[in-house]
């Protein structure tokens, strides 16, 4: 392992002869500041030299070293990031090397917004014509890197945003095509990973839609099949049900098309199926039934049908409020009131 530049035994900048020509600039304190932080000597020293180089406008190799040291102590120091980026550009530094250096920093500080923002800037600067074929290998490599980070933290919001940005920026069919199998790998590991479900929606119905897949009915069929399979494996999974609702609403498909499927999940016992119905996979033996989301879905079908079926919806909402989802009793009562008011 290479030694990080924030090693404890590193000399202070004020003790290093190669920094002797820079005048450190102390920080303004004021009389009684709000929430002042008791800085470590290393942080105080490094930021004084940082203010020093800012005051002269210096952009040099050693500024890259200094800003890296500050970032490793405080990755949320956005001015250090900002100045580092400007220095890289001014020095015409090889940005692919910077990207490599940032791989380790990204994994170490993946919860910090700036880490990902910096990568966006680097990728944009490296590939100002993102559609050119020469950009493709780099974008693929970057996707592979993001996948590695998502293995460490599979629900990190910044990492997913960055992946979505990258796909949209390069917008290349070869990038989009791998996304569905990537999502499926993650959902195999954790079918409740809502970020993965969201990403699937983004790829199939959002920004990724324009690529290939012109046959929309076929796509909808595939998505319904996949989602139903995932629900049968783990029925009480709001992410999958939200996705199901999302794709139906997006494609203006009536909920009632799913009636025979949801019927399998609304009684207390798993249904006895003599013939395996691949279109409508049933819940497993160990499933906790009835499934609240299925009851809710069925009630929505009844409500949409209107007329005397509204009463059936009301009965389901009552059972949810009184028995199956008592925590949201007030919500189910509200659904009853709304339905009565509009019928």
For another protein, give the closer residue by CB, 127 or 200: 200
Spatial contact of 59 and 87, defined as CB atoms under 8 Å apart: yes
Q: Give the separation between CA 224 and CA 218, rounded to whole angstroms.
A: 10
Q: How far is CA 32 from CA 28, 35, 45, in A?
A: 11, 9, 22
Q: Which residues contact 210 (CB under 8 A, 6 or more apart)?
A: none
DSSP codes of every residue in 116-184: HHHHHHHHHHH-SSTTSGGGHHHHHHHHHHHHHHHHH-TT-HHHHHHHHHHHHHH--HHHHHTHHHHHH
Q: Give the separation between CA 287 and CA 112, rounded to whole angstroms.
A: 39
- Least spacing, CB of residue 243 vs another protein, in Å: 8
Q: Identify the sign of the CA torsion 323, 326, 332, 336.
A: positive
- Least spacing, CB of residue 43 vs another protein, in Å: 6
For another protein, give the closer residue by CB, 160 or 176: 160
* Set 59, 92, 100, 111: catalytic member: 111
- Least spacing, CB of residue 40 vs another protein, in Å: 5
Spatial contact of 172 and 131, defined as CB atoms under 8 Å apart: yes
- Least spacing, CB of residue 277 vs another protein, in Å: 27
Residue numbers of the site for another protein (CB under 8 A)?
25-40, 43, 47, 51, 54-55, 57, 73-79, 82-83, 112-113, 117, 155, 157, 160-161, 164, 168, 192-195, 198-199, 201-202, 205-207, 237-239, 242-243, 245-247, 249-250, 322-323, 326-331, 334
For another protein, give the closer residue by CB, 174 or 323: 323
For another protein, give the closer residue by CB, 84 or 228: 84
Residue identified by tokens 């509204």 is 310
- Least spacing, CB of residue 39 vs another protein, in Å: 6
Query: Is 111 annotated in the active site?
Result: yes
Q: Give the separation between CA 110 and CA 38, rounded to whole angstroms.
A: 25
Spatial contact of 199 and 223, defined as CB atoms under 8 Å apart: no
- Least spacing, CB of residue 275 vs another protein, in Å: 33
For another protein, give the closer residue by CB, 127 or 199: 199
- Least spacing, CB of residue 132 vs another protein, in Å: 24
Q: Give the separation between CA 75 and CA 55, rounded to whole angstroms.
A: 22
Q: Give the separation between CA 219 and CA 205, rounded to whole angstroms.
A: 10
Q: How far is CA 215 from CA 54, 127, 211, 221, 222, in A?
A: 56, 32, 11, 10, 11
For another protein, give the closer residue by CB, 31 or 278: 31
Grouping H, G, I as helix, E, B as strand and the rest as coil, residue 342 is helix
For another protein, give the closer residue by CB, 70 or 95: 70
Active-site annotation, residues: 111
């Amino acid at each position: 392992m290479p030694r990080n530049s924030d090693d404890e035994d590193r000399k202070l900048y004020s003790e290093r002869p190669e920094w002797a020509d820079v005048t450190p600039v102390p920080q303004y304190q004021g009389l009684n500041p709000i929430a002042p932080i008791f800085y470590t000597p290393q942080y105080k020293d490094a930021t004084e030299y940082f203010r020093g180089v800012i005051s002269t406008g210096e952009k040099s190799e050693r500024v890259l070293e200094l800003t890296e040291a500050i970032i490793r102590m405080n990755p949320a120091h956005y001015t250090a990031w900002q100045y580092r980026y400007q220095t890289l550009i001014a020095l015409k530094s090889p940005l692919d090397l910077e990207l490599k250096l940032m791989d380790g920093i990204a994994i170490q500080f993946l919860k910090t917004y700036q880490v990902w923002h910096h990568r966006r800037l680097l990728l944009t600067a490296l590939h100002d014509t993102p559609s050119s074929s020469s950009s493709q290998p780099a974008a693929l490599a970057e996707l592979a890197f993001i996948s590695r980070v998502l293995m460490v933290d599979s629900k990190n919001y910044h990492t997913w945003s960055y992946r979505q940005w990258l796909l949209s920026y390069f917008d290349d069919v070869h990038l989009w095509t791998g996304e569905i199998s990537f999502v499926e790998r993650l959902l195999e590991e954790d079918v409740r990973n809502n970020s993965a479900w969201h990403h699937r929606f983004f790829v199939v119905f959002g920004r990724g839609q324009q690529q290939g897949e012109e046959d929309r009915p076929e796509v909808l069929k595939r998505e319904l099949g996949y989602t139903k399979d995932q629900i049968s494996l783990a029925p009480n999974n709001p992410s999958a049900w939200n996705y199901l609702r999302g794709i139906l609403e997006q494609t203006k498909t009536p909920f009632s098309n799913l009636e025979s499927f949801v019927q399998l999940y609304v009684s207390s016992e798993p249904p006895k199926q003599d013939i395996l119905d691949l279109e409508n996979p049933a819940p497993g033996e160990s499933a906790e039934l009835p499934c609240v989301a299925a009851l809710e879905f069925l009630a929505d079908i009844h409500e949409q049908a209107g007329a005397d079926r509204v009463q059936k919806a009301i009965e389901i909402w009552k059972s949810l409020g009184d028995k199956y989802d008592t925590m949201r009793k007030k919500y189910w009562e509200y659904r009853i009131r709304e339905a009565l008011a509009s019928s």
